[in-house]
């Protein structure tokens, strides 16, 4: 007898791949076993943890920093020129606002 998902939660990623394949398939296949909402939420919570390339922090870093060097991962990524320019302009405007309004 093969273990079900409820008996062996370590194989959830394998089941997730099967479920995603079924959902993406235009011909809806019959599912092997019934899923509860609690089980589905546990799958959805674990799936992003297995994908370190996803996330808001990664998206911001990819937008603000130059692309990573694929040949040497130890090299620091420099900020993009437009980001440095906007930081300098914003800092200058904030400095002028503070200085000319006697907020110091």
Q: Which domain holds residue 38?
A: 1-51
Residues 21 and 41 in one domain: yes
Residues 41 and 68 in one domain: no
Residues 17 and 39 in one domain: yes
Residues 60 and 102 in one domain: yes
Contact residues for 11 (Cβ-Cβ < 8 A; gap 6+): 3, 5
Is the model more confident about 97 or about 48?
97
Give residue-wise pLDDT tens across range 55-80: 788 888 888 999 888 898 888 999 99
Residues 8 and 39 in one domain: yes
Structure token digits, residue 19: 């479920």
pTM value surpassing 0.85: no
Residues 80 and 60 in one domain: yes
Helix (H, G, I), strand (E, B) or coil at 52: coil
Structure token digits, residue 27: 């011909």
Residues 67 and 23 in one domain: no
Number of domains in the chain: 2
Structure token digits, residue 66: 């130059």
């Amino acid at each position: 007898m093969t273990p079900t998902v409820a008996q062996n939660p370590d194989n959830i990623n394998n089941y997730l791949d099967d479920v995603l394949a079924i959902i993406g398939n235009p011909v809806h296949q019959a599912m092997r076993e019934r899923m509860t909402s609690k089980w589905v939420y546990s799958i959805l919570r674990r799936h992003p943890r297995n994908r370190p390339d996803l996330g808001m922090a990664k998206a911001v870093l990819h937008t603000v920093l130059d692309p990573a060097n694929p040949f040497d991962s130890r090299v620091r990524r420099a900020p993009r020129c437009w980001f440095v320019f906007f930081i300098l302009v914003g800092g200058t405007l904030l400095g002028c606002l503070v200085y000319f309004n006697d907020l110091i």
